[in-house]
Structure 1
Amino acid sequence: MGNFLLIPVIFIAVVILFSSFFIVKQQTAVTVERFGKFHSIRGSGLHMKIPIVDRIAGRLSLKIQQLDVIVETKTLDDVFVKLKISVQYVVLKDKAYEAFYKLEYPHEQITSYVFDVVRAEVPKMKLDDVFVKKDDIAIAVKTELQEAMFDYGFDIIKTLVTDIDPDQQVKNAMNRINASEREKIAAQFEGDAARILIVEKAKAEAESKRLQGQGIADQRREIARGLEESVEVLNKVGINSQEASALIVVTQHYDTLQSIGEATNTNLILLPNSPQAGSDMLNNMVASFTASNMIGEEMKKNNPPNIGSKKK
């Protein structure tokens, strides 16, 4: 009978012995209460407590934690936008008491401060400024939280504006504006390219005309030189200048007719090609030269050369 009663006593003693010890993990703080009153904060390691008298009231993580808060607000230009604010915070080891007893729901407290700061800062900015000055918003949130949460045993490590999401219609309008700006720039570049092509084409045409004119001038110069040489050769055999010029014209006339006859797919050209055409042309030229000589002789008779004045 005595042994039978001894077993429960031993069992109870073992349970009480094991319940007197507890282990605290790394980066964790355990709050111990004695008869419902705060007793101590225990760090990582093996610890002992008085069974029934002491109890573990709660555990706090000393690791850096992150809380994401989505805030919807309106900008200065009346655009509704959603901002995602990421708050990184940690429980201060030497203020574990305040963190455990002063705040029952720290996440809700942090969220409230984030809403308050964002809705105070963003309505002062236009939508474009919200994207540009998102770091200023993050700094304002951190400053406000740092002051408010330090007394509660929390340290704000960093705040980040991780997302800015305007209304879908606003995003579509912004995309259309960007597309229009890019099309405008593309049109300007295309216009500049077309203008450059026109200018360069005009320069090329001008250079071509200049070279063409120079070629025609050189051609005419060579023709005149050849005619001059032909007249000199004919003069040496007793043919005067008028007869030589007439002979050259007649020769060129028949050469032209021959070249037209040899060419294919030529346009219609009307020229005097009757048998007497050459003689008529020659007679007309001889008559013109004779008339011009007579006029020249008559002008010499009517306007004799001036005789120099006598010396006094």
Structure 2
Amino acid sequence: MPCCIECIQTAEVGIVERCGKYYRQAGPGANCVCYPVDEIVGVVNMRVQQLDVEIETKTLDNVFVMVVVSIQYSPIQERLWEAFYSLESHKLQIRAYIEDVVRAVLPTQSLDDAFESKEAIALSIKRRLDATMHTYGYLILNSLVTDMTPDYRVRNAMNEINASKRLKEAAAEKAEGDKVLSVKSAEAEAESKYLAGVGVARQRKAIVDGLKNSISDFTSNEQIKGASSKDVVDLLLITQYFDMLNSIGTRPDTLTVFIDEDGE
């Protein structure tokens, strides 16, 4: 019986059959196989593998979304017989379970809830696969919902809603800022008018005090005898009157003409 040397790559395990029946496993490296009785009918990849599945389904609010699920898995060393012989295509089996879970969960949720529950969906998928694929010799390491994309028209509508919301918030903030500026401006104007009024009141008080002191000094002067308080007030009024005329007359745009009572 001729024997041949068959090489198995690292991280792979060969399946050896004798006369069409499972016989043994062939590890990495050189393996002696006696043909035609024994034959390596296939190898099992022991590396961690990833399967990406795209599923289209609709949500509770009748929005169609494309969901991408990534499954990371590897064969179980102690269950290589099941991993090689129990399923014709383990990838199709995993895909079927994923589609079943996604199309059972998403139709019960709105689009917003679906985006918020990606981790819960991934956990549900992993639990379902753990309960089934272990029987077939595969260990599910991780389950990830990597993408969830609604129809482009729905995305545009969501973007417009978000933009309108942001513009509304910006307009409200701007109006609030204008309100603060108006209130502060009114407060400043009121304070300014108050201080101006205080200044005018102090000015008038100073003028009155000055007039009073002038009258008192004038009437008490021994060199001016017989002058009464009325005379002093009249003199001050005439002085202010001439000061006013002088001020008006020195202005280049003066158009006022003063005449006496006879019109001369």
Query: Which TM-score applies when normalising by structure 2?
Result: 0.93
Higher RCO, 1 vs 2 (CA within 8 Å, ≥6 residues apart): 2
Structure 1 position 264 matched with structure 2 position 264 = no
1:174 alignment partner AA:
M
Deviation at 1:229, TM superposition (A): 2.1
Deviation at 1:232, TM superposition (A): 2.1
Asked if 2 retains the 8 angstrom alpha-carbon contact of 1:41 and 1:97, the reply is: no
The residue number in structure 1 matching 2:242 is 254
2:139 alignment partner AA:
D
Deviation at 1:109, TM superposition (A): 0.7
Structure 1 position 115 matched with structure 2 position 103 = no
Q: Deviations over 1:112-147 (max 9, x none)?
A: 100000000111111111111100000000110111
The residue number in structure 2 matching 1:300 is none
Q: Secondary structure at the match of 2:259?
A: coil
Q: Which runs of 5+ in 2 are unaligned?
A: none
Match of 1:31 among 11, 15, 19: 15
Q: Quick one: distance in 2 between partners of 1:97 and 1:130?
A: 39
Q: Quick one: distance in 1 between partners of 2:174 and 2:51?
A: 51
Deviation at 1:274, TM superposition (A): 2.7
Deviation at 1:269, TM superposition (A): 5.8
In proportion to residue count, which structure has more helix? 1
Structure 1 position 162 matched with structure 2 position 146 = yes
2:239 alignment partner AA:
T
Q: What are the equivalent positions in structure 2 for 1:87-106 lying under 5 Å apart?
A: 87-106=71-90
Q: Quick one: distance in 1 between partners of 2:142 and 2:228?
A: 113
The residue number in structure 1 matching 2:130 is 146
Quick check: which has more Rg, 1 or 2? 1
The residue number in structure 2 matching 1:54 is 38
Asked if 2 retains the 8 angstrom alpha-carbon contact of 1:29 and 1:93, the reply is: no
Q: Secondary structure at the match of 1:77?
A: coil
Query: Which TM-score applies when normalising by structure 1?
Result: 0.79
Q: Which runs of 5+ in 1 are unaligned?
A: 1-12, 278-312
Q: Quick one: distance in 2 between partners of 1:204 and 1:221?
A: 25
Percent identity between the two aligned chains: 41
2:259 alignment partner AA:
S
Asked if 2 retains the 8 angstrom alpha-carbon contact of 1:81 and 1:166, the reply is: yes
Q: What are the equivalent positions in structure 2 for 1:1-312 lying under 5 Å apart?
A: 16-17=2-3, 20-235=4-219, 236=221, 237-238=224-225, 239-265=227-253, 273-275=258-260
In proportion to residue count, which structure has more strand? 2
Q: Secondary structure at the match of 1:194?
A: helix
1:87 alignment partner AA:
I
2:6 alignment partner AA:
F
Q: Secondary structure at the match of 2:212?
A: helix
Q: CA RMSD in A?
A: 1.7
Instruction: Decide whether aligned partners of structure 1 residues 198 and 59 sit closer, same or farther in structure 2, where only a CA change above 3 A counts.
Output: same
Aligned length: 258
1:161 alignment partner AA:
V
Q: Quick one: distance in 2 between partners of 1:77 and 1:51?
A: 62
